[in-house]
Structure 1
Amino acid sequence: MTKKNPQKDEESMKNIEVWEDLVSIRDLVLSLLINTITTLGCYFLAPNEPPKPLFFGLSGAIIGFIITSFIINPKRKLQEIESEE
């Protein structure tokens, strides 16, 4: 009979698989919310001249990405292993 690791089950309940990688549901929702608010906020603040809403929306997306990169820390730990030649 195999015993299940309760910590692993709790951890898997907090993550979902996106493009063959595990992502925290909380971090994903938070980043989507921040990026949506900044993108739409800048888009609606733009003057109604044809190219400006596009540029304002794109700049809002970049601002949201920068904010998200400071708020959400990466969970992945990289380990370098020296190979023998």
Structure 2
Amino acid sequence: MTKKNKDPQNVEIWADLVNIKDLILAIIICIGFTMGGYFIAPGKAPMPLFFGLGGAIIGFIISSLIIKPKRTLRESEETEANEK
């Protein structure tokens, strides 16, 4: 089943609705830190890989701190009739 979305600011990715603005912001942050880490790394063979991965992790952490989830969870109590 696909949910019909009336808000044009959201797009469906992996069966979840994502705000386009937040998605693009997170991608820019992660790419910036990944490429920054890659380019400041020393020239030895494995170092650009490690610095790039470190930059990607830092970008992910910063993105998760800046972009807050917009979901609301509602709890509902089940009645005894539903249990039988």
Q: Fold conserved (TM > 0.5)? A: yes
TM-score, normalised to structure 1, is 0.81
Higher helix share: 1
Q: Which runs of 5+ in 2 are unaligned?
A: none
Distance apart, 1:78 and its partner CA: 1.8
Matched, 1:75 2:70: yes
Which residue number in structure 2 is paired with residue 33 of structure 1? Answer: 28
SS at match of 1:44: helix
Structure 2 counterparts to residues 1-85 of structure 1, below 5 A: 9=6, 11=7, 13-83=8-78
- What is the Cα-based RMSD across aligned positions, in Å? 1.5
Aligned residues: 76
Question: How far apart in 1 are the matches of 2:52 and 2:61?
Answer: 14
Question: How far apart in 1 are the matches of 2:43 and 2:24?
Answer: 30
Question: How far apart in 2 are the matches of 1:60 and 1:40?
Answer: 7
Question: How far apart in 2 are the matches of 1:82 and 1:49?
Answer: 60
SS at match of 2:54: helix
Structure 1 segments (4+ residues) deviating >6 Å:
none
TM-score, normalised to structure 2, is 0.82
Q: Percent identity?
A: 55
Distance apart, 1:83 and its partner CA: 4.1
Distance apart, 1:79 and its partner CA: 2.3
